[in-house]
Chains A and B, each alone.
Chain A
Amino acid sequence: MQGRKQADLARSVGISPSYLNLIEHNRRRIGGKLITDIAHELGVEPAALTEGAEAALLDGLREVLADTEKTDEALSQLEEFVGRFPVWARLLVETRRRASDLEHSVEVLSDRMAHDPFLSTSLHEVISTVTAIRSTATILAETRDIDPQWRDRFHRNMAEESARLAESAEALVRYLDEASSVEFEASTPQEELDGWLRESGYHVAEMERALPPEPERLVAHQPRLRSAAARSLAVRYLRRYRRDAEHMPLAAFLEAALQTGFDPAALSARFGVDLGAVFRRLAVLPAGKVGGQIGLAICDGSGTLTFRKSVEGFQLPRFSAACPLWPLYKALARPMAPVRRRVEMGGRSLHRYLTYAICQPSQPAGFDGPQVLEAAMLILPEGLSELGASEPLLGIGTSCRICPRAGCAARREPSIMAEAF
């Protein structure tokens, strides 16, 4: 109805402007002569006014009804329902679509866990091999008077089983890697956003331009961002990304970051921005120009991770709660007090990192509204920065469930890993 006043159109087809307003907002359904008249006045085909969105909505509602009983009665009320409550109708269709997507994901995952023959066989193979290695190794280690012939035989068996284990483990990792790229991977909007950012390497070149595209346009056709909620999260992320990029232009920031050895305090002072913004900017610098990956974890006041950028050896858990010893949580407990800690991640190979953390409160709903906390932790792999190299190390993990640190005072639940590697 652009370029033409609503009142003029209403007058020319013989109805009141308020009635036309109701029609426009789908609160009154029309047909016959009136729709022909309006179409004629607007210079379009009558079908153009009713088809498209509404037809899709009706189809969506028919699908909803197909899953329920008493469909005849409900079917007869369909058009009236769409006419009177278009917003609720759309919500219902959208909810049904999400439920159906989720059901599909659950089915696929359950099926995989319960019946996937490859997964089951591979795990069985790994466990059998580990059993053979364990038994044989114990014999070799604990039997002092072992016959040389038996000893040689057991050594051969160990070599065989080790090769078999390496092969099975490799096949399993390859399989899980492939599985993680299929569609059901992302089941929440946050996971969809994580997947999209991971795929793009966290650096969004379009938002670095002098005239960046509108975030909505950028996220509109990203296949990874399937749900409206994920696209909304992505838009919010990109808006913040853009603000950071404006305050810390890429070339100048990169140069300063390299000069200061990635010192967030020095960068914060130089660019006149808060520490959290510096953390975010450092984490999205192109890895090739930095000489390595810089990780970042952001959580809200509940400790829930809202942004995860892992680096090698420092995985940020997707499903379970993270290690309570992370400096991130120390910062969360003391808003505005900066934390710097060298940490060592438990595991087969002990990776070390320099971490910086800060918790910044905000009052998005004004002084009378609740205080909103957000904590961030920057993760610099050892070697990337010389700062703090002599500071004592804090032993941490990824998540209690997979952490091998047996005597940890902060342990929340038993680990599924062996006590020590």
Chain B
Amino acid sequence: MNKRVLLVEDEPNIIEAIRFILSRDGWTVETHLDGATAVDMVTAAAPDVLVLDVMLPGKSGFEILKELRALSATAALPVLMLTAKGQGRDRELAERYGVTRYMTKPFSNAEVLEAVNALQTGGR
């Protein structure tokens, strides 16, 4: 089965690295750089897992997540949120908006791979 992940992140070199490790594990990786149009992109692409950065141009990851949870098509979509903000307040905010898993930068490749695979199989 073709596993599909959408990566919404605005750092091109982080995108390349994550794309590389997930591709080698059999994932089809689509990427998107812009926060403002991210919700449309997610609904159109309908990925198995969404990897979402918090600090994005146009719209924050928190807002995107909130909007996705309000749509029936993406209400249950597994979302891994990536952030450079490690404070408890941000984690609380992400959890309140319905994040599936939360990871702070700098993360390791193995952690991202494990998290994305776990989300696809219904774990956290």
Chain A residues packing against B (C-beta within 8 Å)? 123-124, 127-128, 130-132, 134-136, 138-139, 143, 150, 153-154, 157, 160-161
A123 CA to B55 CA in the complex, in Å?
12
- Is B41 among interface residues, defined by CB-CB distance under 8 A? no
Q: Is the CB of B84 within 8 A of A157?
A: no
CB-CB under 8 A from B108, the residues of chain A are 134-135, 138
Whether the pair A128, B109 counts as a contact (CB closer than 8 A) is no
User: Which of chain B's residues has its CB closest to A123's CB?
Assistant: B84
Q: Is B1 an interface residue (CB 8 A)?
A: no
How many Å lie between the Cα of A130 and that of B108 in the bound state?
A: 11
Question: Is A135 a contact of B84 with CB atoms below 8 Å?
Answer: no
Instruction: Please give me the residue from chain A that is nearest to B82 by CB atom.
Output: A131
The interface residues of chain A lying within 8 Å CB-to-CB of B85 are: 124
Contacts of A150 in B (CB 8 A): 20
Q: Which residue of B lies closest to A120 (CB)?
A: B85
In the bound complex, what is the Cα–Cα distance between A127 and B107 (angstroms)? 10
CB B12 to nearest CB in A, in angstroms, measures 8
Enumerate chain B interface residues (CB-CB to A < 8 A): 11, 13-14, 16-18, 20-21, 24, 55, 84-85, 105-109
A315 to B29 alpha-carbon distance, docked (Å): 47
Selected contact of B107 from candidates A131, A154, A157, CB within 8 Å: A131
* B55 contact set on A, CB distance < 8 A: 124
Docked pose: A289 CA to B24 CA in angstroms: 63
Known: A128-B11, A131-B84. 16 other contacts (CB 8 A): A124-B85, A128-B105, A130-B106, A134-B108, A135-B108, A136-B13, A138-B108, A138-B109, A139-B109, A143-B24, A150-B20, A154-B17, A154-B20, A157-B13, A157-B16, A157-B17
In the complex, the answer to whether A127 meets B105 with C-beta atoms within 8 Å is yes
CB contacts (< 8 Å) of B105 on chain A: these are 127-128, 130-131
Among all A-B residue pairs, the 6 with the closest Cβ atoms? A135-B17, A127-B84, A131-B106, A132-B13, A131-B105, A157-B13
Closest to B105 in A: A131
- The interface residues of chain A lying within 8 Å CB-to-CB of B24 are 143
Which residues of chain B are near A161, meaning CB under 8 Å?
13
* Residue pair B109, A132 in contact (C-beta under 8 Å): no
A161 to B85, CA, bound (A): 20
Q: Do A160 and B21 touch (CB < 8 A)?
A: no
Complex contact B14–A132 (CB within 8 A): yes
Asked whether B16 lies within 8 Å of A128 as measured between CB atoms, the reply is no
In the assembled complex, the CB of B112 is this many whole angstroms from the nearest CB of chain A, namely 8
* Nearest chain B CB to A421 CB, angstrom units: 16
Residues of B within 8 A of A136 (CB): 13, 16-17
Minimum CB–CB distance for B5 against chain A, Å: 15
Q: A270 to chain B: closest CB distance in Å?
A: 56
- B14 cross-chain contacts in A, Cβ below 8 A: 128, 131-132, 135
Closest Cβ of chain B: how far from A418's Cβ, in Å?
Answer: 10
B20 touches A132 (CB 8 A): no
B18 to chain A: which residues have CB within 8 Å?
135
| Contact B84 A132, beta carbon cutoff 8 Å | no
- CB distance B17 to A139 under 8 Å? yes
A160-B13 contact in complex given A135-B18, A139-B21, C-beta closer than 8 Å: yes
